[in-house]
Amino acid sequence: MFAYIIRRLVYGVVTLFALSLVVFLLIQFSGGSPLDRLKLNPRMQPVIAQLTELWGLDKPWYEQYFIWLRNFVTPVDVPAQEGLIVVLGKLGIRSWVAIAAAVAAVGYTVALFFVKVKANWWRTFRAFSIILTWLIAFWIIKSRIVFALNWGISFRGDGPVWDNIFGAAGNTFRLGATALLLALIVGIPLGIYQAIKQYSFFDQLGTMLSFITFSTPIFIIGVMLQLILALYMERWTGVKLFYVVGMTSSGYEELGRGLFGLPSLAQLGDVIQHLTLPAISIAAISMAGYSRFQRASMLEVMHSDYLRTAKAKGLPRRTVVVKHALRNALIPIVTLVSLDVAFIIGGAIITESIFGWPGVGRLYIGAIQSIDYPTIMAVVMAIGAGVVVMNIVADILYGVLDPRVRYD
């Protein structure tokens, strides 16, 4: 198992290398300098010279690639403003604390896999302690904002890419996590109910609806929701239920603070009004997929031999469905959910640009439009790393939940 994870991680790193090379070459061969926009402004001459030297923009592409690669993995200290351009400093003591936290988290995770205890409580403890360690490490790294990798400075003059991405990632996480949760709590029960009432009117209706949703591009769902549930509804009924742009209203801070610095009810309501429509548009397709998948997996279990045995023993139908069927039918969907992360990130890119959501997706689209290559590379690598990690997590989870699966 451990060797398997290490091997997968190595493949993952190779994939990321290939990804970075492909994107880098595409940008290199697309003609024109990435600094073309800055050149329009005569005041930017010193900045251009500085960036050209920093990124080796006058060197051949392979040297530029290695400069980028070296910078990409180099830790740097808090960015400091200097003239027109942000300069990333050398490592300070606080950065070393953050790095030590990250190394400790990795080390603890690796070390735990060497401890051989065959007990269920140990598995649970291991899983929770790893998650906890990573949360703490992440908090140390993030909360001080002392630690950064030298992902460069946006060519659009937005400051350090690391800060931009970590600022936007939280917003994308809020959107994506809500969407995933929504898809799960609607999709799975729907699929289970459809399987229990196979061939009923509800089942056929659900199948038809998920087929249609599955064939609808995410941008059409987003635009339609925006138009019908927000704009046209307000126009016809005068009720403003949802907002279509941004994460909060402009008067968000005046809505009052709740206890312990938590948002007040009014603020929570405002957030929900903004969050609902983009979350639904990302979730809709996954929802359809989950309900289809859950239905199939539930049906497969319902027709299995051991379930017939359970029924034949005279167990109540409820026990049969919940204890025997449902538990096993939920296993496959765990993998599906982990693999769905890539799809949700893709959906977030489209949805964020429709709903003006200040997340990674909008950052990416903006960077693409002006070929701001430090940002493009960083976003692509971050998403690629997320996909690689989630693929590995999917495999591990599957092995943990289904004891028949063995890795070699």
Partner 1 sequence: MTERESASEAILDVAEGISAEPITQWDLFVTRLRRHRLATIAFFYMGFIGFVALLAPLFTCQKDDTFCGRGPVEMSGLTTVLMLATALLVGYFAYRSFVSKLRGMAVALTFVTVVLGIFLVSSWGLLDVPHVNHYADQLPDESGRILVNIAPRGSIPLGTDDLGRDVLARVIHGGRASLAVGLVVGALVALLGTVIGSLAGYYPGVVDQSLMRFTDLVLGLPLLPVAIVVGRVLPELQFLPGFLKQGAWGIAVLVGLLVWGALARIVRAEFLSLREKEFVEAARAAGASDRRIIFRHILPNALSPIIVQTTLIVGTAIILEAALSFLGFGVRPPIPTWGGMAASGASIAVRGFWWELVFSAGALISTVLAINFIGDGLRDALDPTQTIERK
Q: Which of residues 339-358 bind partner 1 (CB under 8 A)?
A: 342, 345-346, 349-350, 353-354
Least gap, CB of 391 to partner 1 (angstroms) = 7
* Whether the Cβ atoms of residue 264 and residue 258 lie closer than 8 Å to each other: yes
Q: How far apart are the first and last CA of the chain?
A: 7
| Nearest residue (CB) to partner 1, 159 versus 346 | 346
* Whether the Cβ atoms of residue 75 and residue 88 lie closer than 8 Å to each other: no
Residues that bind partner 1 (rule: CB under 8 A) add up to a total of 48
- Please report the DSSP string for 84-118 in residue order: TEEEE----HHHHHHHHHHHHHHHHHHHHTT----
3 state DSSP class of 147: coil
Least gap, CB of 134 to partner 1 (angstroms) = 22
Q: Which of residues 289-318 bind partner 1 (CB under 8 A)?
A: none
SS3 content of the chain, % helix, strand, coil (to 5): 75, 5, 20
Q: Does 336 bind partner 1 (CB under 8 A)?
A: no
Candidates 185, 227, 266, 272; binder of partner 1 (CB under 8 A) is: 227
| Nearest residue (CB) to partner 1, 218 versus 279 | 218
- Round to whole Å and give the CA distance between 118 and 242: 52
Q: Does 215 bind partner 1 (CB under 8 A)?
A: yes
Least gap, CB of 203 to partner 1 (angstroms) = 15
Of 26-34, 153-161, 302-310, 397-405, the window that binds partner 1 (rule: CB under 8 A) is 26-34
Least gap, CB of 216 to partner 1 (angstroms) = 5
- Round to whole Å and give the CA distance between 72 and 162: 10
Beta bridge partner(s), residue 149: 75
| Nearest residue (CB) to partner 1, 12 versus 356 | 12
Q: How many residues does the chain have?
A: 408
| Nearest residue (CB) to partner 1, 276 versus 391 | 391
* Whether the Cβ atoms of residue 217 and residue 319 lie closer than 8 Å to each other: no
H-run or E-run covering 85: strand 85-88
- What is the x/- site pattern for partner 1, positions 4-23, by CB under 8 A? -------xx-xx--xx--xx
Candidates 49, 131, 224, 266; binder of partner 1 (CB under 8 A) is: 224
CA atoms within 13 A on the CB side of 51: 25
- Round to whole Å and give the CA distance between 210 and 151: 41
Contact set with partner 1 (CB under 8 A)? 11-12, 14-15, 18-19, 22-23, 26-27, 29-32, 211-212, 214-220, 223-224, 226-227, 231, 342, 345-346, 349-350, 353-354, 364-365, 368-369, 371, 376, 379-380, 383-384, 387-388, 391
